[in-house]
């Protein structure tokens, strides 16, 4: 059997006394698109943030491309990774945030160049060329010199996607990428994500866009109360939701 791109096993995570993830196990195959849905506070964003270690986990294991995230196994003991090793792991995992988080003091082009230049030490000229290609890919080449404050939400999110892609990630994490957008701007971002999925990128997408999940997703995960309540191919589970909680959730978002 082929090693999955992402392997998540029995992950638990507490914030203080509240357990937000109560044993999540999940595989994402190479090139797969997993859509994670669930009510707010269900732990779906936390799960995503654990994958690139923006959050630490309290138990369980996460592997990306066969590498254990956050720790090194030596003998029968786990050792925390040193900060530099952690940074190395994160370089290969792109993340797109709900609120974009573009660097406001840099232009769209500079935002896309920042990762390769600062982290990978790519020469500025080459980074600029590549950044322009990526901006072209998200259809924003004409906005390269604009600061984030001069762009619409949809444009900012597309720049944020280009910024992540500039690091040539093996995996892309999307944390509610369209939730902060005006309705008419959602489609332009989804179109970019659709292209990305078609190009074979492995993606984990936390979203409320059921249409996107049905069309692009290979696997749909419904999380509620920190556990996976239902999962399966999006077309099947959306057509025949088995659990009452999932049915109730779909009734609210559709």
Partner 1 sequence: MTKTPQAADVADLPIDAVRPPRPGRWIAAVVAAFALVWLAYTIIVNENLHWDVIAEYLMDGRVLGGLWVTIQLTVLSMVIGLALGILAAVMQLSGSPVLRGASALYTWFFRGTPLLVQLIFWFNIGLVFPSFGIGVPFDGPKLIEWQANELITPFTAALLGLAINEGAYMAEIVRAGIRSVDPGQREAAEALGMSHRQVLRRVVLPQAMRVIIPPTGNQFISMLKTTSMVSVIAGAELLTVSQRIYLGNFEVIAMLIVASIWYIVLTTIASVGQHFIEKRFERGHHALQVRVRRNLRPFSRGNA
Least Å from the CB of residue 51 to partner 1: 11
Which residue's CB is nearer to partner 1, number 69 or number 213? 69
Least Å from the CB of residue 63 to partner 1: 18
Question: For the chain, where are the alpha helices, taking DSSP H only?
Answer: 44-51, 83-91, 108-115, 124-137, 153-165, 183-198, 210-216, 234-239, 244-253
Which residue's CB is nearer to partner 1, number 179 or number 187? 179
Which residue's CB is nearer to partner 1, number 101 or number 245? 101
Which residue's CB is nearer to partner 1, number 81 or number 238? 81
Which residue's CB is nearer to partner 1, number 42 or number 107? 107
Which residue's CB is nearer to partner 1, number 49 or number 208? 49
Least Å from the CB of residue 173 to partner 1: 8
Binding interface with partner 1 (CB under 8 A): 52, 54, 83-84, 87-91, 93-95, 97, 99, 101-107, 114-115, 118-119, 147-150, 160, 163-164, 167
* Helix 153-165 / helix 124-137 crossing angle, nearest 10 deg: 130
Rounded CA-CA distance 131/41 in Å is: 36
Nearest to 201 by CA among 120, 93, 49: 93
Rounded CA-CA distance 49/125 in Å is: 32
Give 12's strand partners. 22, 59
Nearest to 88 by CA among 103, 67, 109, 102: 67
What is the side-by-side order of every strand in the sheet holding 219-224?
93-96, 171-175, 202-206, 33-37, 219-224, 227-232
Least Å from the CB of residue 245 to partner 1: 30
Give the tokens for residue 227. 């556990």
Least Å from the CB of residue 237 to partner 1: 29
Least Å from the CB of residue 94 to partner 1: 7
């Amino acid at each position: 059997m082929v090693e999955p791109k992402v392997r998540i096993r029995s992950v638990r995570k507490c914030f203080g006394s509240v357990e937000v993830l109560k044993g999540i196990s999940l595989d994402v195959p190479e090139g797969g698109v997993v859509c994670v849905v669930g009510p707010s506070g269900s732990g779906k964003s936390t799960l995503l943030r654990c994958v690139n270690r923006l959050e630490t986990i309290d138990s369980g294991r996460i592997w990306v491309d066969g590498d254990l995230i956050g720790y090194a196994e030596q003998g029968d003991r786990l050792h925390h990774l040193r900060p530099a090793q952690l940074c190395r792991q994160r370089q290969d995992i792109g993340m797109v945030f709900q609120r974009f988080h573009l660097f406001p003091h840099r232009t769209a082009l500079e935002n896309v160049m920042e990762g390769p230049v600062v982290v990978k030490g790519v020469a500025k000229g080459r980074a600029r060329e590549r950044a322009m290609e990526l901006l072209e890919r998200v259809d924003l080449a004409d906005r390269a010199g604009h600061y984030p404050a001069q762009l619409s939400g949809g444009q900012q999110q597309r720049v944020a996607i280009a910024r992540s892609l500039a690091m040539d990630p093996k995996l892309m994490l999307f944390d509610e990428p369209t939730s902060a957008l005006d309705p008419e701007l959602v489609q332009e971002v989804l179109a970019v994500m659709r292209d990305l999925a078609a190009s074979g990128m492995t993606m984990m997408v936390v979203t409320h866009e059921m249409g996107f999940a049905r069309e692009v997703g290979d696997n749909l995960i419904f999380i509620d109360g920190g556990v996976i309540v239902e999962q399966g191919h999006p077309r099947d589970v959306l057509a025949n939701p088995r659990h009452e909680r999932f049915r109730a959730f779909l009734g609210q978002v559709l």
